[in-house]
Amino acid sequence: MNKKYENNEISKQTIYSELCIEMRRHRDYQLEISKWYTTVLLGIIGAILTIKFTYSESALAKAISNIFWVKLTIIGVVTVICFTGIYSILYSHWRYTGIKEYVYKHLEPKWRKLSKGEEDLNKIMKIIKPHLCILFTLFLLMAAILIIIIIK
């Protein structure tokens, strides 16, 4: 039998590739979450605008404009949707960051140096973090819905 596999040890390269796949999965999950939650919030904005301004004489439009409990319910649902999306994105980002730090600390080759372009990109990414831009977008959509609900 091959001595390499006698101790049932997993090679460092296998661990490295599996962790890179896991990091990619978390990054893709962040983007999928942001896409779905943004779509849902944009759909809510579209529905409210359509009801309030196109069908302004309907009972639903009057309820959205005048009844406090209807406004409060919509605000509550939108807030829960927004914060669920934000938590999911942050959780996935934390998992991605934890795995990335482990890989860089324990599995990356010591000789690997960043090129000038990669160093510049890292500087930009430390200033403008993509997941924060996504979170900012979700907050803006939530604020837009709240403003539309509050305006008569």
Q: What pLDDT is stored for residue 131 in this prediction?
A: 84
For the chain, domain boundaries: 12-150
Q: What pLDDT is stored for residue 104 in this prediction?
A: 81
Residue burial 88-112, b: 16+ Cβ < 10 Å; e: rest: bbeebbebbeebbeebeeeeeeeee
CB atoms within 10 A of CB 37: 22
The identity of residue 46, as a single letter, is G
CB atoms within 10 A of CB 25: 14
- Express each pLDDT in 83-119 by its tens digit: 999 999 999 999 998 998 888 888 776 666 666 666 6
Residue with tokens 């939530």: 142
Name which of 45, 12, 23 is nearest 146 in CA terms. Answer: 45
